[in-house]
A and B are shown apart, each in its own frame.
Chain A
Amino acid sequence: MIDLKRISKWVNVGGKPNFILKDINLNIKEGEFVSIMGPSGSGKSSLLNIIGMLDDSSEGEYFFLEQAVHSLKEKQRSQLYKQYIGFVFQAYHLIDELTVYENIETPLIYQNIKSSERQAMVADILDRFQIVGKKDLFPTQLSGGQQQLVGIARALIGKPKLLLADEPTGNLNSRQGEEIMELFKQLNNEGVTIIQVTHSEKNAAYGSRIINLLDGRVDLS
């Protein structure tokens, strides 16, 4: 599903390239649950952003479902991730001005799905996550765990094949974290490919594979 070949990413600091990712080769198959680990600054989030097509690599090739992402135009790329990828963030990144319902609905609007269909899909997912009662509340009226639940619901609403999560439990207490991880496990069992960035060994253990990053390289030791 995902094939990264010699991916590097650098930024110029004072005229010299400063490597964030160096020569990453990675292959992830459909249905995997991968945990990316590593100390702060090791390039975990950058890697996730490149996989999620939110950022470009400076060098290297990236194939997603056999398509050469590195040579796609901005528009086609956004078409691709809109359709196949869902994102979950550590800070939830819900839109404060929108209700729970509207937050979940937003990706569908951008996928040009009809209003009646959107209603059914949002109702479904609210039901599944048992947050029907919260649908008219605003994000600030929810606890962190609930907000993250909404974040995940929003990521899943478009029925993505791949779920990218950047420290999804980082801002949650351990009980809430466990619930989220259980949910991920369940989703993975239903066929969703998941890549998560995490600091926690315990959370990483939920996955089927762990990739360790160190100073922008995959640590094979």
Chain B
Amino acid sequence: MNKELIPALRSFRKYPVFSLINLGGLSIGIAASFILLIYSQREFSTDRHFKDANRIARIGTDFFHMGPFAISQPQLPLLAKAGCKDVENVTSISIEDKTSVRLSTQERAFNDILPYSIDAEFFTVFSYQASAGSIPQMGLAPGETILSENSAHKFFGNTDPIGKTLLIGKKMTPYKVVAVLKEGFEKSHLEPQLLLPRSTAAPANPNNWMSAALYNYVKLKPQGSIAGLNAWLETLRRKVIYPSSGATISYQEWTASNMAVSFTVQPLTSIYFDNNAKFDTSPGGNLTQVRLLSTISILLILLAIINYINLVTARASIRAKEMGLKKTYGAPRSTLVGQLLKESILFSLLAMLIACGLIQVILFLYQYSTGAALTGPIPFLSANYIWLLFFSLAVGALAGLYPAFYLTGLRPLLTIRSTTTSGMGSNSHIRNGLVTVQFVIATGLVFLSFVVYSQLLYMKNKDKGFQSEGIVLVDNIEGMKDRATTFQQLIEQQSQVASTSICERIPGSKGVAMYSYRTAAMPKPLSIQTFPVDDRYISTIGMHLSDGRDFNRHLASDTNALILNESAVAALGLFNPVGSVINGSEKVIGVVKDFNYASLHEKIGPAILRYSTRPRTLAIRLRGGNTASFLDWLGRASKDFQTEAPTISFLDDNFARLAEKERLLGQAISFFTILAIILATLGLIGLTIFTIERRMKEIGIRKVLGATRSDILNLISSQFIRLAAIASGIALPVSWWLANRWLNNFAYRISINVGTFFLTEALILLIAFAVIGLLTLRALAANPVKNLRTE
């Protein structure tokens, strides 16, 4: 054992509480910030693991200015490959409905498996690798399939799936497994579970540019560019699509009109975060969350480093004597600096070992408390752990640097002679500064968590313009056709059901329907969100009629009637909406209060209800009672009406899904805020213990002079409380600004009130007082006057 390190180890034994606090803090800091580092690195490199990722792009479309779609036209790939000189290759994936998978006709099916149907070029664009079998580079032959590792495990357990047969779909078509895709730690916006071959027959209607179905990816030539692709697409629009639309207006007018079709090209590497396209393959990442968590990772390690520096320099009086003595024996400063650096690196390596275990604990706790995994399990023995080593070494060096130079810079005579701390006070400014930084971090994070949580709560409880709770949806009932009414009647006979409605669209669902509306006074029609519904829709989902009346199925004229929301009334410029005529013959019969149909990021726009009895969704308002048994019954009953089982969900869940990213963000920030508070509290405990130790004599003197317990408490805490106050002065405005920036993403948001500031301060001060108070009282319990006797 290195002689220089022995004093360090002895000092560990001599001051166990101190050293454990220090070690614990450093381990938590290293573990948590390492996790977040890996997390952000993984998020940011999503899809970058594909070979030539920066040459791959997805062509999406925008129809009629409805916003971007992830899918585009089926005839596009052939045209692009033949016509665009920048394109090397194109592949298109078809992702439609979930299907069922069986191992044999007798066995039960695995449901809800989403197959990707791929063409021959798939593997030339996406460099997937096989963990078993081999990838057919020329695409799947008919009757062949490829599984993801996950699905393979699900279907076959640990047996080798290669060569086995799967029966897929209702028709139980047999497919032979030829390969299993390797699933690494990398993330992708494509999440294949099951790959099937797709026939690449020419599209049925190559002149129809108004509908999209395929996910089209192009691989550019090495010298090709996205700009080149965009230029080609623009030519395609002007030369092919515009003429085929049969429009009588000029090209310029056409592009601005609501008949326009346009393309959106997304580089592969930006699809994951730039994910507002409809029908995207994955919900995508949340850039705010990744940025926030990478910032937090830096803050956490900063907290841990500050703890280390503070606790080491706080003990300076003890170590300084050793340094002073060595100096008088002639040790050069560089040797001493080296010794202290070695100590801190040794310390951080020790912390790293503990951190290795803590990483698993933190990941587990995170998943346990939020229900979502932050990253997949970090693969063992991977390059990540080399990073951990370097990271810890760097932390050790960084944390040791200041104490090393500080301790070795003291004048030796002073340090040897002095038994008190006089002359050692000079570093207290830096220590106070560092403690302030810790308070700033803790206060800021607490404040942000409170804001995020208040916004989440607000989103959950906001009046949506209808009552979403207690509504069960039976989706995809198109197959029932005329029997839908019988189905509806059967359901209404159930005691738990209050009312039902058949409709084609429900707020918070994925589908989009926009129709054109034009009053006599308007020069151009407007595209407006439309909800085709029956006459019990408004009463069932609980919208509020503010004017006019509801649809009535017994009035033949109502098939041509409209009910507008208030925004639509304003958008169409109607003063007396009820009775006015739109599109020449459609009559407005009522007005409903505005209601949310999309996430709260978007402002409620104009929306129109029109009468329709075409079944797509059945909305059921429950009266209460035994919901579970009702749902059970509903699942069984609906199968009798339609072979393909309909999807049953709660309307509330649909809205919750729209706010899923915010929910995850809220949980992530509060989880790591708690960790940050733990770190800062550990630091405060250490420093308070030290402060009390250092001022024990003074406390004794003051006791003799008549100070009461509260006087002493005041004495010790006032120093920290002052720092906390300064910190709040910095942290609160900054985090207020950040929080407002985040809130500006929402059309419906809370305004930050004084209560949030107050609550943040209260929590921080409560923790500080609790720590300082308990430690001071503990110190006072051992009669401090006794310290005065030692002469």
Contact = CB atoms under 8 A, between A and B. Distances in A.
**Is the A/B pair a real complex?**
yes
A93 B711 contact: no
A54 interface: yes
Given A81-B706, A93-B697, A97-B698, A55 B711 contact: no
Contact of B791 (A75, A90, A106): A90
Contact of B704 (A75, A87, A91, A170): A87
B785 A54 contact: yes
A153 to B, nearest CB: 13
Interface string B403-428: 00000000000000000111001000
Contacts of A82: 706
A192 B420 CA distance: 33
Nearest to A93: B701
Contact of A78 (B420, B700, B706, B783): B706
B422 A55 contact: no
A82 B703 CA distance: 10
Interface in A105-145: 106-107, 110-111, 140
Contacts of B783: 54-55
A18 B788 CA distance: 21
B791 A154 contact: no
A54 B784 CA distance: 10
A89 interface: yes
A45 interface: yes
A107 B697 contact: no
A179 interface: no
A93 B785 contact: no
Interface in A82-103: 82, 87, 89-91, 93-97
A60 to B, nearest CB: 19
A140 B422 CA distance: 9
Interface in B740-791: 783, 785-786, 788-789, 791
B422 A93 contact: no
Nearest to B423: A140
A30 to B, nearest CB: 21
A107 B702 CA distance: 8
B695 to A, nearest CB: 9
Contacts of B701: 93-95
A87 to B, nearest CB: 5
B708 A78 contact: yes
B788 A93 contact: yes
Contacts of B791: 90-91, 170
Given A91-B791, A110-B711, A96 B420 contact: yes
A152 B788 CA distance: 16
Nearest to A170: B791
Contacts of A25: none
A151 to B, nearest CB: 10
A140 B785 CA distance: 22
Contacts of B785: 49, 54-55
B706 A107 contact: yes
A140 B420 CA distance: 11
B705 interface: yes
Nearest to B707: A110
Interface string B281-295: 000000000000000
A109 to B, nearest CB: 8
Contacts of B789: 45, 49
A133 B706 CA distance: 27
A106 B704 contact: no
Nearest to B700: A93
B788 A110 contact: no
Interface in A45-70: 45, 49, 52, 54-55
Contacts of A90: 791
Nearest to A83: B706
B705 A110 contact: yes
Contacts of B425: 97
A87 B789 CA distance: 13
B704 A54 contact: yes
Contacts of A110: 702, 705-708, 711
Given A140-B422, A154-B705, A95 B711 contact: no
Contacts of B421: 96
A71 B698 CA distance: 28
A140 B786 CA distance: 23
Contact of A107 (B422, B705, B788): B705
B696 to A, nearest CB: 12
Interface in B653-709: 697-698, 700-708
A107 B711 CA distance: 12
Nearest to A75: B708
Contact of A106 (B422, B700, B702): B702
Given A78-B706, A82-B706, A93-B788, 7 more contacts: A54-B703, A54-B785, A89-B788, A93-B700, A96-B420, A96-B698, A170-B791
13 contacts: A55-B783, A82-B706, A91-B791, A93-B701, A93-B788, A95-B698, A106-B702, A107-B706, A110-B702, A110-B706, A110-B711, A111-B706, A140-B422
Interface of A: 45, 49, 52, 54-55, 75, 78, 81-82, 87, 89-91, 93-97, 106-107, 110-111, 140, 154, 158, 170
Interface of B: 420-422, 425, 697-698, 700-708, 711, 783, 785-786, 788-789, 791
Q: Which 9 pairs across A and B sit closest by C-beta, in order of nearness?
A: A82-B706, A110-B706, A107-B705, A54-B785, A93-B701, A110-B707, A95-B698, A106-B705, A96-B422
